[in-house]
Structure 1
Amino acid sequence: MNPNRLHAWQAADRIARRELRAEDLVRACLERIDEREPALHAFVQLDREAALAQARALDAGPLRGWLHGLPLGVKDVFDTVDLPTGYGTPIHAGHRPAADAAAVSLCREAGSLVLGKTVSTELANMHPGPTCNPHRLTHTPGGSSSGSAAAVADFMLPLALGTQTAGSLIRPAAFCGIVGYKPSLGRVPRAGVKSLSESLDTVGGFGRCVRDIALLGAVLTGDARLRHWQAPDAPRIGLCRTPQWDQADADTQRTWQHAADVLAPLAAACRDTALPAGSLAWVQLQKDVMAHETARSLSHERTRHAARLSTPLRALLDAGSAIDGAMHAADVAAVMRARQAVDALFERHDLLLAPSTLGEAPAGLDHTGDPLFCRGWTMLGLPCIHLPVGHGASGLPVGVQLIGRYGDDHRLLGAAQWAFERLGG
């Protein structure tokens, strides 16, 4: 097997035992990039020689941490001291940060090396970049973490960083057929990441299996329990179709039902679960909070460079500017009430099984798909993980989303491994 096709945890284990050189893994990833990048467009910056030099230094030195020798893709909204960070917009083209984002620094400290910066949508919003879906180049890879998801899915990288403010980790993971992890809100430092929404922005990442995500998540959160979970007992599963179930297409409904049918007889308990009263309003509440806070976070771009922003982003900023501080305070209070109400569900359930997306990745590269089935969970700040468990009618990936209790990321990942094994992952 070519080294670039190893799971991250497998490559890390072989490097730690000196059975695989980091340099050989980097070369294999670069060969794959040379082969596929002209069609896929997953990267905005690569520094081959620097990556190879870092790999040789890691091979020559002591083990530095759990990610020792693993190439990492970094979404182009994370500051990097050695590569430009453009935030997905020509407004900031060529910008050279003075320091790494905290998440990038933590990964480097654990022994990873940054192979390149991956494509983000415009300022991590909805206007797409050039990245294509690796399974079908005429379809979107999702967004905003487009390049990170596509690069991991196409074996260019074992791991990559992304962010989620609405659905920017779970949706591209679903469309590209990999595992995506959105930690509990606040578990990963956001310093050095282009801010959109203080109430919603979350740093996470992508891998090709749950164990990969556990490795990366342990480094990002500093919580070793994410990596060293004990084999979990069968979890108690809440079957949560969500109030938007009728907007899911046949592929999503069939895949969700298949997962429920497989897991139900094996779980400690499995029952249909209704969300608390008022949950139908959560999607709009997330949209309003995101719009208001994004308009304020992007005040510089809005006031100094409006003509260089896409029409959809200008519309979002206009909508956010129309929500005044008093209205936003009321929205934030409603969010806090919703977070308190949903916590009670986890007295009866260890995890919720929900849809990830409306369906397969849509055709076309002029949009990134609808984050409908992610908005509410992001607003609630809960940890989420996407599991790729099948394909839709046209052959593109589909899967399901598991949601855990706030702060119980290690329990969610343990249960996700349990579920992934039984769903054929």
Structure 2
Amino acid sequence: MSLWQPWSLRELVEELATGRTTAAAALERSRARIRETEPEVRAWVVQDPAPDVASATGPLGGVPLGVKDIIDVAGFPTRCGSQLRADAAAAGADAAIVNAWRAAGAVPAGKTVTTEFAYFSPGPTTNPAVPGHTPGGSSSGSAAAVAAGQVPLAVGSQTAGSVTRPASYCAVASLVMSHGRYPVDGVVGLSPNLDSHGYYAAGVSDLAVAWSALTATPSAALEKARPGRVLLWTAEPIGVVDDDMGEAVETVRKRLTEAGAVVDDFPEEQLVAEVTAAQPVVMAYEAARERAEELSAAGRLSEPLAQLLRTGAATADGDYATARRTIAAASARITDLLMSYDAIVGPAAPGAAPAGLSATGDPALSRAWQALGLPVVTVPGLRNAAGLPLGIQAVGRWRGEDALLATGGWIESALS
């Protein structure tokens, strides 16, 4: 049995709309796949024993949805992957983003595994695309649940690389929304200036179906009929990209050019490296204040999270202000560049998913784009010689998700 069997949201929504299946049948398919694969994948913290798919309204029509366990779902505790929350009471209301997905017709099927408070300490989840390798983090369970075909749609969050990296490792697509696109009410966050919503689906066309439903965007606005203009970012100055991913980036250059795109070299590699270095300063400083209660109980936290909070508490106000200025200056330059291009395209992770489940990989290649608050689509499809997934990320203009999804879909077709 293959664990990696992503379930197309686009196909399911078409089947629901035409009456070829029902919401109840989709839920049973989800439950059957969870029963079959969950003993090995371990993507779920808790499943809803009786989700109300029958009364779901909206264009998604009762699609089962996974929800990362830092996000409130009414009736279920939000445990954040931490022993500090082992006895948490059930949430009294949905988070704002869950309300939005319900309005679109999705129905939460349960809570998915997260690293502790969405930082580095992993849960038990394995990577369905490469069992025994990390699925990435912190949205580990949501990425794995989609990759395994347990649900066709799952939500996560990103503060550094918590959506993009798992998508790259698990060979699925993801969208990180622009910072501030939806409220974060009901989400246990780390960094107000960095936390963003995201979600996973099998491919970019599936992301587009979900976005159309969530935002009432006409589907035609998410389709790109012409070759694009992109900037190719290698991330070379950051110094983490391995040979396999470097070759994948050159494959992207070749295939997009052959498909008719204008592919220019990204001229601000060093600037992005500077923002990459500034992001952890902002993250640690804000996390120490956002999670001050947890800092006081650091002896009961995983060491990576305790160290983050201690580092943030010791960070000088001036260092934080300097990091914020670095990000603001870069934002103006990147915004100007994106006026002439559809996207910045480059590696979504340093390489393939590392072996073992004791760590979640390096988020370095998402840090800058997260600091800048830009939307990011992860495009699956490429693999190394050993068959391990290598994701590509496309970065768009702030609040430019419509255009970015169209470009991401075109890139996906060019790479297939």
Specify the TM-score bucket, using the shorter chain as the normaliser: over 0.9
* Deviation, structure 1 residue 320: 0.6
Q: Assess, with a 3 A threshold, how the Cα gap between structure 1 residues 394 and 277 changes in structure 2: closer, same or farther.
A: closer
Q: Could you say which residue in structure 2 is the equivalent of 1:18?
A: 19
Q: Could you say which residue in structure 2 is the equivalent of 1:214?
A: 208
Whether 1:343 aligns to 2:335 is yes
Unmatched tracts of structure 1, length 5 or more? 59-63
Does the 8 Å contact 2:235/2:241 carry over to 1? Answer: no
* Deviation, structure 1 residue 223: 5.4
1:280 maps to which of 265, 273, 283: 273
Whether 1:256 aligns to 2:249 is yes
Query: What TM-score do the two structures reach when normalised by structure 1?
Result: 0.93
C-alpha separation between the residues in 1 aligned to 2:220 and 2:106?
A: 16
Q: Could you say which residue in structure 1 is the equivalent of 2:60?
A: 67
1:185 maps to which of 160, 179, 182: 179
Residues 289-298 or 83-92, more deviating: 83-92
Does the 8 Å contact 2:24/2:54 carry over to 1? Answer: yes
* Deviation, structure 1 residue 345: 1.1
2:373 maps to which of 369, 376, 381: 381
Letter paired with 2:291:
L
Q: Indicate the SS of the match to 1:120.
A: coil
* Deviation, structure 1 residue 227: 6.9
Q: Assess, with a 3 A threshold, how the Cα gap between structure 1 residues 10 and 99 changes in structure 2: closer, same or farther.
A: same
Q: Indicate the SS of the match to 2:222.
A: coil
Letter paired with 2:226:
D
Does the 8 Å contact 1:226/1:410 carry over to 2? Answer: no
Q: Assess, with a 3 A threshold, how the Cα gap between structure 1 residues 383 and 226 changes in structure 2: closer, same or farther.
A: farther
Q: Assess, with a 3 A threshold, how the Cα gap between structure 1 residues 94 and 112 changes in structure 2: closer, same or farther.
A: farther
* Deviation, structure 1 residue 144: 0.1
Whether 1:293 aligns to 2:294 is no
Q: Could you say which residue in structure 1 is the equivalent of 2:325?
A: 333
Q: Could you say which residue in structure 1 is the equivalent of 2:295?
A: 302
C-alpha separation between the residues in 2 aligned to 1:227 and 1:127?
A: 41
* Deviation, structure 1 residue 423: 1.1
C-alpha separation between the residues in 2 aligned to 1:21 and 1:94?
A: 36
Residues 226-235 or 278-287, more deviating: 226-235
Q: Could you say which residue in structure 2 is the equivalent of 1:229?
A: 222
1:133 maps to which of 121, 127, 130: 127
Does the 8 Å contact 1:242/1:275 carry over to 2? Answer: no
Q: Assess, with a 3 A threshold, how the Cα gap between structure 1 residues 141 and 6 changes in structure 2: closer, same or farther.
A: closer
Q: Deviations over 1:11-36 (max 9, x none)?
A: 11221222211111111111111111
Q: Could you say which residue in structure 2 is the equivalent of 1:61?
A: none
Q: Deviations over 1:117-138 (max 9, x none)?
A: 0000000001101101112321
2:406 maps to which of 414, 417, 422: 414
1:56 maps to which of 50, 54, 57: 54
1:398 maps to which of 356, 369, 390: 390
C-alpha separation between the residues in 1 aligned to 2:356 and 2:184?
A: 32
Q: Could you say which residue in structure 2 is the equivalent of 1:165?
A: 159
Q: Could you say which residue in structure 1 is the equivalent of 2:260?
A: 267
Q: Could you say which residue in structure 1 is the equivalent of 2:362?
A: 370
Does the 8 Å contact 1:283/1:376 carry over to 2? Answer: yes
Q: Could you say which residue in structure 1 is the equivalent of 2:70?
A: 77
Does the 8 Å contact 1:142/1:172 carry over to 2? Answer: yes
C-alpha separation between the residues in 2 aligned to 1:336 and 1:372?
A: 19
Q: Could you say which residue in structure 2 is the equivalent of 1:36?
A: 37
Q: Indicate the SS of the match to 1:224.
A: coil
Q: Could you say which residue in structure 2 is the equivalent of 1:146?
A: 140
C-alpha separation between the residues in 1 aligned to 2:206 and 2:16?
A: 15
Q: Kindly, what percent of the aligned residue pairs are identical?
A: 36
Does the 8 Å contact 1:45/1:84 carry over to 2? Answer: no
C-alpha separation between the residues in 1 aligned to 2:230 and 2:173?
A: 19
Letter paired with 1:419:
I
Q: Could you say which residue in structure 2 is the equivalent of 1:176?
A: 170
C-alpha separation between the residues in 2 aligned to 1:218 and 1:322?
A: 44
* Deviation, structure 1 residue 185: 1.2
2:345 maps to which of 353, 359, 364: 353
Query: What TM-score do the two structures reach when normalised by structure 2?
Result: 0.95
C-alpha separation between the residues in 2 aligned to 1:419 and 1:230?
A: 11
C-alpha separation between the residues in 1 aligned to 2:115 and 2:346?
A: 26
Q: Indicate the SS of the match to 2:54.
A: helix
* Deviation, structure 1 residue 249: 1.1
Q: Assess, with a 3 A threshold, how the Cα gap between structure 1 residues 286 and 5 changes in structure 2: closer, same or farther.
A: closer
Letter paired with 2:161:
G
C-alpha separation between the residues in 1 aligned to 2:238 and 2:177?
A: 24
Q: Could you say which residue in structure 2 is the equivalent of 1:88?
A: 81
Q: Indicate the SS of the match to 1:55.
A: coil
C-alpha separation between the residues in 2 aligned to 1:83 and 1:306?
A: 25
Q: Indicate the SS of the match to 1:56.
A: coil
Q: Assess, with a 3 A threshold, how the Cα gap between structure 1 residues 326 and 65 changes in structure 2: closer, same or farther.
A: same
C-alpha separation between the residues in 1 aligned to 2:328 and 2:246?
A: 30
Residues 288-297 or 324-333, more deviating: 324-333
* Deviation, structure 1 residue 206: 0.1
Letter paired with 2:39:
P
Residues 387-396 or 23-32, more deviating: 387-396
C-alpha separation between the residues in 2 aligned to 1:124 and 1:372?
A: 16
* Deviation, structure 1 residue 6: 4.3
Letter paired with 1:270:
V
- Cα RMSD for the two superposed structures: 1.7
C-alpha separation between the residues in 1 aligned to 2:377 and 2:154?
A: 15
* Deviation, structure 1 residue 98: 1.5
* Deviation, structure 1 residue 233: 2.3
* Deviation, structure 1 residue 326: 3.5
Q: Deviations over 1:170-212 (max 9, x none)?
A: 0000000000111111112211111111111000100001122
